[in-house]
Structure 1
Amino acid sequence: MSHFRPALVLLLLFTALTGLAYPFAVTGIGQALFPAQAKGSLITQDGRVVGSNLIGQAFTSDRYLWPRPSATSAPDPADSTKPVDSPYNAAASTGSNLGPTSQKLADRLTAASEDWRGSGLLLPIPGDALTTSGSGLDPHVSRAYAQAQASRIAKARNLSEAQIRQVIEASTEGRTLGIFGEPRINVLHVNQALDGIRS
């Protein structure tokens, strides 16, 4: 009993501190100092949530800027023990883990590059037009990839290519703290701006 009581008191104390007080304090500080980020950096339009600054979405229409490929998957509806491709599945954030000798990776890259060439888009092909990100949910693309899509979007929307390029440039985010990473474009921001243009 002399060992049990102190152990029980410490268990209850640390449960209260680390299980209740610390999470509530961190959540409260986050909500007070960074309210948008603490709520998931959500993007709203006409009063409804349409996405997040942090999670990409699968856009496939020629009218929109396309994101980079995504390697996320989901259980096969016909056999839950097997995965199937499910691009931008936020419940399954992951890379493909396919190595340089993977035939599946080689086939995917070959098909993507053939699709790119067949669509009449500019060469050389930007790297992020073919490769997936580590999370499979990257909301950004490079300037090269975004600008390479301008002619396709302009044609689909019956707009000038200069208008599309202007929207892309206006949505370009600089390097983090001015030194880290490369300039990048948030795909959802561009697509929202495109929908706001009157043709």
Structure 2
Amino acid sequence: MLKIIRQALLILLFLTVLTGVAYPLAVTGLAQILFPSQANGSLIEHDGKALGSSLIGQPFADPKYFWSRPSATTPFANNSTSSTGSNLGPTNSALTDAVKQRIDALHAADPGNDAPTPVDLVTASGSGLDPEISPAAAQYQLARVARVRGRTQADVAKLVAEATEGRQFGILGEPRVNVLRLNLLLDGKL
């Protein structure tokens, strides 16, 4: 009986060291070597200060900025510790009310804009933390941002093009605009 208990404890110790120490250290070391930016949070920095992550959406409400996709996280928007979708279906009155409020906010910020509202500006994503919007959503906001900042639309459009990423590997997904990167370009911090 003592022999079995000793073997069980040795196996427990060995597996604890293997799966609790060696494996995490190996994976972390490989990630630091092969993907250092991603392993450290894909941070966007300016003057040695982290301004945010390119992988997590941040809220922007000032009309001089491009607005991100709405967030469904709780207890506040873009809460990276609470990634979740709203789980509201298309017939749910709470969703239709939220979409109407978001459309009203977009129209209040840019009353002259009569273009169709892109869906990604009024609906939350599955994670609630999308850092990107569609090029159509950026185009929808372009005139407002240019007007509020006193810049030409062509000037702002160049920054939108610079912040736009194409399809991954040329075939996967859709083109997208990283909102944090775009707003930092507008502020001259990138």
Give the TM-score category using the shorter length.
over 0.9
**For 1:92, what is the secondary structure of its paired residue?**
coil
Per the TM alignment, residue 141 of structure 1 is displaced from its structure 2 partner at its CA by 0.4
Structure 2 residue aligned with 1:152: 144
**For 2:52, what is the secondary structure of its paired residue?**
strand
Mapped partners of 1:160, 1:117: distance in 2: 21
**For residue 43 of structure 2, what is the amino acid of its counterpart?**
L
- From 102, 108, 114, give the equivalent of 1:112: 102
Q: State the TM-score, normalized to the length of structure 1.
A: 0.89
**For residue 48 of structure 1, what is the amino acid of its counterpart?**
K
**For 1:37, what is the secondary structure of its paired residue?**
helix
Structure 1 residue aligned with 2:51: 50
Structure 1 residue aligned with 2:12: 11
Relative to its length, the structure with more strand (as a share) is 1
Aligned residues: 186
Mapped pair 1:185 → 2:185: no
Maintained 8 Å contact 1:122/1:148: no
**For 2:81, what is the secondary structure of its paired residue?**
helix
Per the TM alignment, residue 113 of structure 1 is displaced from its structure 2 partner at its CA by 2.2
Per the TM alignment, residue 122 of structure 1 is displaced from its structure 2 partner at its CA by 4.3
Structure 2 residue aligned with 1:73: 74
Mapped pair 1:39 → 2:29: no
Mapped partners of 2:104, 2:59: distance in 1: 20
**For residue 10 of structure 1, what is the amino acid of its counterpart?**
I
Q: Which runs of 5+ in 1 are unaligned?
A: 75-85
Structure 2 residue aligned with 1:128: 120
Mapped partners of 1:167, 1:101: distance in 2: 38
User: Identical aligned pairs, as a percentage?
Assistant: 49
Per the TM alignment, residue 91 of structure 1 is displaced from its structure 2 partner at its CA by 1.6
Mapped partners of 1:122, 1:146: distance in 2: 15
**For 1:23, what is the secondary structure of its paired residue?**
helix
**For residue 32 of structure 1, what is the amino acid of its counterpart?**
I
Q: Which runs of 5+ in 2 are unaligned?
A: none
Per the TM alignment, residue 166 of structure 1 is displaced from its structure 2 partner at its CA by 1.1
Structure 2 residue aligned with 1:80: none
Mapped partners of 2:188, 2:51: distance in 1: 15
